[in-house]
Structure 1
Amino acid sequence: MKKPTDRQQIDAELQQIVELRHGEPHRVLGIHPDGDGMVVRTYRPDAVAIHILPDFGGRIPMAQRKDGVFEARLNGRTETFNYQVEVEYPGKKTFTLRDPYSFLPTLGDMDLYYAGEGRHEELWKRMGAHPVHHNGISGVAFAVWAPTAQSVSVVGDFNSWDGRLHTMRRMGASGIWELFIPEVGEGTRYKFEIRTGQGGHRILKSDPFAFRTEVPPATASVVHDLNHFQWSDGAWMQARATQDVHRQPWSVYEVHLASWRRVVEDGDRPLTYREMAHALSDYLKKTGFTHVELMPVAEHPFGGSWGYQVGNYYAPTARFGHPDDFRYLVNHLHEQGIGVILDWVPGHFPRDSHALGQFDGTALYEHADPRQGSQPDWGTYVFNFGRNEVRNFLIANALFWFEEYHLDGLRVDAVASMLYLDYSRKQGEWIPNRWGGRENEEAIAFMRELNDKVRAKYPGAVMIAEESTAWPKVSQPTSEGGLGFHFKWNMGWMHDTLKYFSKDPIYRQHHHSQLTFGLLYAFSEHFMLPLSHDEVVHGKGSLYGKMPGDDWQKRANLRALFAWMWAHPGKKLLFMGGELGQPSEWNNDKSIDWHLLEKKEHAGIQSLVGDINRLYRSHPALYDADSEPMGFQWLQPDSAASNVLAFVRRSRQPGGHVVCIANLSPVPREEYRVGFPRHGGYVELLNTDSDGYGGSGLGNKGRIHTQPQSWDGQEASAVLTLPPLSVLWFTPG
């Protein structure tokens, strides 16, 4: 067989360029040595004439060599040089631009190596779209992972979305494609046009690493520079790094940004990030919460998913403003002394055609086998945690939110769905692990690696698991055989407590153990007690609606629930609207019912929550030994017939304690004796039946004096008035 000449080889490659199936277009396009000179080639389909404009001067015509490929030879030139191309289209339309194929790669060998190993902890700084100066020219460096693609192009506003004009180069065996496009700037819309390896089908994908997107339902990525925002939360960040998170008070207000507060007079629109910064911080200071947890903010195509089906993991949703507006929100909250937790969804992702699914025409981020790669409950794809690049994508994403947005914690959604291979699957619908078991070893390794890296890089930041099973040591360090989370949502406590409080008091004595059982395991993990959004939608009724009795009793029960929860071991989380005593379920398309505050009985519930939070924060006994048995002691766990429970919370600080007494029957208990840890005076810190909260006003006139009569295993006791459907707190004083 006759060996092809260099000219024939180049012709063959140029034909591949024209057909969009060349993986290394820089090899033939751009500027190259050619004999005793240099040759410049460019591909501009539809052009009628092109000239080279070298930076050293002159105007050199190019000849059309093949179907839109133009070429010019400069004899006597031995070194490459910078140049522009002047392109003329029919109708005398002329454009002058830099040739992207005249630039060296913007990715280095070490980037490719660590990405392939799954160990590039700052992967977002290299992948995606980055405004840079390259070889003295401003532009955008693009990079995307699409290992089985036949070719990949960048398309956008700058090239009329024409995939022929900016094909990328494949970076060896890494599966990463790269292209520097000069004179493209911030704010430019773009996508990746991928020609699949099998069949050469054309698919358009948003950038998995995009820092900014269009406002949904539009799906284009937008070039964004992360380096503009000036943070002013240094004092907060420095203090955070020195704190033991388990010894701090955590009272978290869970918020859905689109429906917390809306602007009725402006089409009932949601608040922007910047509007939210001031309104939310003022409200949290008023109500005393230490932290806010934002339901998923990462861009998502369907608003009705509440953010739990993420399309763009590195971009705050554009629904409420610019990415730097979201930074403003976080920064302002920090300046006001409020921490920010973000819901994060690494378990699954949606099937929308522009997103991660079948990204290069194959199962790339997900498993190919639906028994591993599909989540039947949500109709989504499941991440392939065993693939280095996928694991790196997710771990880098978690680090990205801490690094670039100064977040104080990530609440990891649906951990159970990642831990178990048979989660929500019937027999035969899942694949056992190598030992024949149901544990997802790859996901477990992913979570441990993730949590170790967060702990090492961001002291004081927290990882919180929404995990609903009895998996052991979720919140213990990996060095002790745990998963490495800082906290675990106590779903069992939530379900048992809500079941108890939903019962008519006449039946509560038969469900007494639903309030006491949780103390058998309360110190096995570092728990957070949630009353979350999931409990107030889809026909479950609001917290207020779950309470039995007439409106007065509903409010009294709700007040008692909050005081019981805040005295119970574990950090706290309350979904928005609960503090208003909102009768209706949460609706993600409308504001919570702020008008209820016009009624003093509902304003009283909000006032109670504010007072509870302030008392909680000022009494270490209520938080600094949450995960230690020494921090809790039962006084009366067995008074089921009277619906009374009593316990003492103890601080790690000597002598500090708070006594909590709950009367969860609708009748007052007069002359009721309860044991106290010491003889002397006690202040009635809290009485949920106070008339200021909308109660009946029964109580103990603000203070008591115990007698040296042993009771409930204590050296002293007091005879008290226990108001109906109430919780009382006492502390020495």
Structure 2
Amino acid sequence: METKLSGRLAIVEQDDWLKPVEGAMTERYAHFCRRLSGIERTAGSLVDYANGYLYFGFQYDPVRRGWWFREWLPGAIDVYLFGDFNGWQRTELPLRRGAGGVWSIFLPDESFAGRLVHGSRVKILVHGRNGWLERIPAYIRRVVQDEQSKDFSGQLWAPAKPFDWNGDRFDISSLGSLYIYECHVGMSQEKEGVGTYAEFAGTVLPRIKEDGYNVVQLMAVAEHPYYGSFGYHVSNFFAPSSRFGTPEDLKALIKRAHELGLAVVMDLVQAHYVKNINEGLNELDGTDHHYSLPGPAGEQPYWDSKLFDYGKPEVEHFLLSNVKYWLDEFHFDGYRFDGVTSMIYTHHGYTEFDSRDKYFTDVNGDALAYLTLANKLVHDFRPGAVTIAEDVSGMPGMCAPVPDGGVGFDYRLGMAVPDFWIKLLKEVPDEEWNIWEMWHMMVDRLGTVKTVAYCESHDQALVGDKTLAFRLMDKQMYTDMNRSAENLVIDRGMALHKLIRLFTISLAGDAYLNFMGNEFGHPEWIDFPREGNGWSYAHARRQWSLSTNGFLRYSFLGEFDKAMIGLMRRYGVLTSGFAYNHLMDEMNKTIVYSHRGDLLFVFNWHPQRSIPGYEVPVPAPGRYRIVLSSDAKRFGGYGRIDESVDAFSFPRTHADGSVGHYIKVYNLSRAALVLKKQED
């Protein structure tokens, strides 16, 4: 890779705001370059370096005819391999310590044929400073839990017939704009229980396709011992969660998604790992500084978890191998990197980023260098793959190309937008909403930084928070969502639910994200089974029937979302750049803007004021036809707009002598119109 340390970085040349901190930016890039150079000297390339999953753990040797098992445990005193294949004899098979603290053992077929087979349960016994402990190998590819004892153990996963990827040539870069459907496989079914990969592939993927989304973002993929952690306390980084099915089931899900034209992005958790001794990496070699820094520096106090030591070469190798593994073995199309802010700051983001200096204070340089390496690896190995940063800080250069001095992400999540909607709905009455503040929040981003827009995700749906639908309609959703009921709270809630989503998707980013079920206003919260709720699955599922039974209003919201996504895709709105603002009418709470020069958006946020014959400026003279009305009856509105009537523009001379063009519309309260200029 060509490095640029002799001159000014392109990222600094292009942004005067960064020139006062040019030294910090240059050192950040130099740090990455030093790490990369070391890797290339020893391995030849970053892609070849990230092959830990092909060396550690169980690897079959066809020449010697048997299994190698290797584990990096520099602090261990003794290590043994055991499992059902040797009658759980804990100290029968000692490993030999090698260079760099790598322990290994060879298990020849002549001794273990018929015993060490696909599905064999395995563990390691590690004698370290913390005693003699039974542990699960770090690179294990499958972990299962015993139903009676609830104990976890690893499995040798080596199916006789490799998964058939024949014909799978999907490339996410062919999709254009990304419309992301965020999902959790376990809670994706209507039953009160845990959904499976196979059920998801059969029932949810077709729904996602039909609704117009083109990217499936899978959460909670890597194994985690506590279901209620939402997959964020990972224990086994190379093992897809067995509670949803086998690795082959996950591969089949991804292949089926590709057949439907859907990309699959993994929610990758490398910001921290579970503290558990029995299941995870914590103190695996007997020390507190194996995968972490020693002492408090290795703790994530806000999440009750452990932090990775991104500066340790073996940890870097482990994590980069993990990045390549999911792309290689499972054909994922990219990643949403979770907890980036926690990774790159020693305060983990718990501060206000209200000055330039804050972005360059308390920075974890090793983590930033690691993320830059990870992004380079992803794009070197799979050029079309996509990476998304969950970063609330807005760290400069997060989405800039690596050669320019950036970290290399393709997108960042627009995390301020959902926070804004929640604050507005909680604290400000409708009639006091400031349309200038609303506009500014949607468009306050750098044009050079691709942003994933969303008004709510799984974060807002968890216990302790509320979805937009529940925040808008609350307990009335239990009694008055049937189509025959008349309820002003429901009317308001449905109207604003549609407006907020259309406003966000058409203004706030270059891609769009929705959490499954939120598109039709799925009621209540997400609450995984726990002692406090009697281990119930009642709130850890998706009640799809609410949107399909024909008697409830949820279907109206779902139909609007489908039409909205279809409109955005049909006219390429997400690729058209920032909208052009034509009108801000504070008195009538009306905002008018356009995309592409021919697509006009009219939003009336006023709770009561509807205005017939309202004059709207248009980007060009001509005939305008309504292509979407949030008040249409098929979307649960009152159908007060005749969508068959076109609006013809007329000129008006302004005070400065310029001539503008206008149309007249029925400007309905709490409603939005989208009009398209017709080619006559």
Task: Provide TM-score, normalisation by structure 2.
Answer: 0.82
Give the structure 2 partner of residue 552 of structure 1: 491
- Report the 3-state secondary structure (helix = DSSP H, G, I; strand = E; otherwise coil) of the residue aligned with 2:542: coil
Q: Map 1:449-464; keep pairs closer than 5 Å.
A: 449-464=373-388
2:113 is equivalent to residue 188 of structure 1: no
1:559-584 Cα offsets, whole Å, 9 max, x none, are: 11122122123311111221222231
Q: Distance in 2 between matches of 1:535 and 1:219?
A: 31
Structure 1 residue 174 displacement after superposition: 4.8
Return the offset for 1:436.
9.9
Q: Which residue of 1 aligns with 2:565?
A: 613
| Aligned partner letter, 1:617 | R
Q: Structure 1 residues 295 and 403 mapped into 2: Cα distance closer, same or farther (>3 Å)?
A: same
Bigger mean CA offset, 224-233 vs 571-580:
224-233
Matched-pair contact (CA < 8 Å) for 1:542–1:586: no
Report how far residue 370 of structure 1 moved.
Answer: 3.2
Partner of residue 251 from structure 1, selected from 179, 183, 188: 179
State which drifts further: 202-211 or 435-444: 435-444
Counterpart in 1 of 2:134? 204
Q: Give 1:111 deviation, angstroms.
A: 14
Partner deviation per Cα, 1:681-708 (whole Å, 9 max, x = no partner): 2221111111111101122424533324
The 3-state SS of whatever aligns with 1:332 is helix
User: Which residue number in structure 1 is paired with residue 641 of structure 2?
Assistant: 699
1:538 aligns with 2:460: no
Q: Is the CA contact (8 Å cut-off) linking 2:251 and 2:330 kept in structure 1?
A: yes
**Residue 161 (structure 1) aligned with residue 106 (structure 2):** no
Q: Secondary structure at the match of 1:623?
A: helix
Q: Which amino acid aligns with 2:104?
A: W
Please give the secondary structure, in 2, of the residue aligned with 1:142. strand
Report the alpha carbon displacement of residue 218 of structure 1 after superposing the two structures with TM. 3.3
Q: Mapping of 1:304-323 within 5 angstroms?
A: 304-323=228-247
Partner residue, 2:677 = 732
Give the secondary structure class of the aligned counterpart of 1:695.
Answer: coil
Residues 1:221 and 2:154 aligned together: yes
Out of 585, 593, 600, the residue aligned to residue 639 of structure 1 is 585
State the alpha-carbon separation in 2 of the partners of residues 541 and 705 from structure 1.
40
Alpha-carbon separation, structure 1, partners of 2:653 and 2:105: 75
Aligned counterparts of 2:61 and 2:385: Cα–Cα separation in 1: 31
1:722 Cα offset (Å): 2.1
SS of 2:466's partner is coil
Contact 1:677-1:714 at 8 Å conserved across structures:
no
- Residue 521 of structure 1 aligns with which residue? 445
Residue in 2 that maps onto 1:14: none
Measure how far apart 1:504 and its partner are: 6.0
Structure 1 Cα separation of the partners of residues 410 and 332 of structure 2 = 15
Measured after TM superposition, the shift of residue 388 of structure 1 is 0.5
1:592, distance to aligned residue in structure 2 (A): 2.1
Structure-2 separation of matches of 1:485 and 1:363: 31
Q: Is the 8 A contact 1:346 1:394 kept in 2?
A: yes
Q: Which runs of 5+ in 1 are unaligned?
A: 1-109, 427-431
Structure 1 residues 669 and 500: CA distance shift in structure 2, 3 A: farther
Give the drift of 1:330.
Answer: 0.5
The one-letter code of the counterpart of 2:124 is: F
SS at match of 2:49: coil
Distance 1:316 1:411 in 2: 16
What is the match of residue 664 of structure 1?
605
Going from structure 1 to structure 2, the CA distance change for 1:649 and 1:511 (only over 3 Å counts) comes to: closer
Q: CA deviation at 1:274?
A: 1.3
Taking the aligned partners of 2:219 and 2:647, their CA distance within structure 1 comes to 46
Higher Cα Rg, which structure: 1
Could you say what secondary structure the match of 1:455 adopts?
helix
Deviations 1:383-435 (A, max 9, x none): 00000010111111011111111111211111110111122679xxxxx99x9
Question: CA offsets, 1:655-687, max 9 Å, x none?
Answer: 6x4221111122323221111111112221111
Query: How far did residue 224 of structure 1 move?
Result: 1.1
Evaluate the alpha carbon distance shift between residue 480 and residue 640 of structure 1 in structure 2; reply closer, same or farther with a 3 A threshold. farther
Conservation of the 8 A alpha-carbon contact between 1:128 and 1:144: yes
CA RMSD of aligned residues (A): 2.9
> Which deviations, in whole Å up to 9, do the C-alpha atoms of 1:133-156 show, x marking residues without a partner?
342x3x322111101212211111
* Distance in 2, Cα, partners of 1:497 & 1:306: 24
Q: 2:75·2:101 contact (CA, 8 Å) conserved in 1?
A: no
CA contact (8 A) 2:220 2:241 kept: no
Distance 1:440 1:722 in 2: 52
- What is the identity, as a one-letter code, of the residue corresponding to 1:256? H
Cα deviation 1:156-182 (Å, max 9, x = unaligned): 111122232111122223534343353
Distance 1:640 1:694 in 2: 27
Aligned pairs (5 A) from 1:100-499:
120-135=49-64, 137=65, 139-182=66-109, 183=113, 184-196=116-128, 198=129, 201-215=131-145, 217-225=150-158, 228-237=162-171, 240=172, 243=174, 248-263=176-191, 268-354=192-278, 355-423=280-348, 437-499=361-423
| Corresponding residue of 2:24 | none
Name stretches of at least 5 consecutive residues in structure 2 with no aligned partner. Answer: 1-38, 352-356, 474-487, 529-536
Q: CA deviation at 1:362?
A: 0.8
Match of 1:721 among 654, 657, 666: 666
Provide the C-alpha distance between the structure 1 equivalents of 2:132 and 2:427, rounded to a whole number of angstroms.
58
Shift of 1:130: 2.6
Task: Report the CA distance shift for 1:358/1:703 in structure 2 as closer, same or farther (over 3 A).
Answer: farther
Determine the C-alpha separation between the residues in 2 that align with 1:424 and 1:547.
Answer: 30
Q: Do the aligned partners of 1:500 and 1:514 also contact (CA within 8 Å) in 2?
A: no
Q: Does 1:566 align with 2:505?
A: yes
- Give the partner amino acid of 1:281: L
* CA displacement at 1:518 relative to structure 2: 3.5
Q: Is residue 586 of structure 1 aligned with residue 526 of structure 2?
A: yes
How far off its partner does 1:188 sit? 0.7
Contact (CA 8 Å) 2:186, 2:196: kept in 1 or not?
no
Moved more, 548-557 or 696-705: 696-705
Counterpart residue identity of residue 55, structure 2? R
Q: CA deviation at 1:112?
A: 14
Give the counterpart of 1:577 among 500, 512, 517.
517
- How far apart, CA to CA, are the structure 2 residues paired with 1:436 and 1:633? 34
Q: How far has the Cα of 1:255 moved from its partner?
A: 1.1
Separation in structure 2 between the aligned mates of residue 547 and residue 511 of structure 1, nearest angstrom? 19
3-state SS in 1 of match to 2:243? helix
CA contact (8 A) 2:600 2:676 kept: yes
- Distance (whole Å) between structure 2 residues aligned to residue 666 and residue 711 of structure 1: 32
Q: Greater relative contact order: 1 or 2 (C-alpha under 8 angstroms, separation 6 or more)?
A: 2
Q: 2:619 corresponds to which residue?
A: 677
Shift, 1:532, TM fit: 0.8
Alpha-carbon distance change, 379 to 254 in structure 1, aligned in 2, over 3 angstroms: same
